[in-house]
Structure 1
Amino acid sequence: MLIWCKIGEWCNIPPIFAFTFKDLLIIHKNSSTSRAKQKAIYAVILITCWVIWRSRNALIFSGKRVDPDRLLGEIKSTAYLWIKHRAKNLKVEWEQWCTFKF
């Protein structure tokens, strides 16, 4: 829950409360921002799921605990690289990305 709250705060959207995976996949549609920003939020949601899953596997299979702030940093950097190299219509610099103001 802490990670999802931090993601909502970073993306300037209401706190994320999802009961199913489908709920997570439609969160971006509820934001009243530009289409490009909605796509960025969608990418962040997908990457967050992936990072949480990897963290869970590291805990279960290797006994590794990960600090939530470190996870958030990993989410931000991974999402930035993904968006920067995959998005056609969104040009964003790291400083803008860290505040999610672009």
Structure 2
Amino acid sequence: MENAADPRAVLFSGALTIRNAESIHEKFLELLSRTGDLVVDASDAEEVDVSFVQLLLAARRSAREQGRALSLAAPAAGPLREVLVRGGFAASDPAFWGQALWGKGGDTP
């Protein structure tokens, strides 16, 4: 589903977990079939696990290989932020994940 605020954005909502990994993967493939830069909106996620993070990073790498950018519509928050911190991803790329993850001075939580 597209995000009305940004027509380039694709909304990922609900449970972004291993149970839904196949449909999430298909959605990323559809997103990658579009032209131009890509925007992922996970702000409506109710549950996130590391499988979503892995698929997101793989899609980002694929976009980069195609000479395109993949970004988040908003800084990682809620369940996505939680899994990033728990999984040790939080410090990997603050510019991509969003400054909302970081405390003052750029320290990780």
The answer to whether the superposition gives a TM-score over 0.5 is no
Q: Determine which structure has the larger helix proportion and give its number.
A: 1
Q: Which has the higher contact order (CA 8 A, sep 6+)?
A: 1
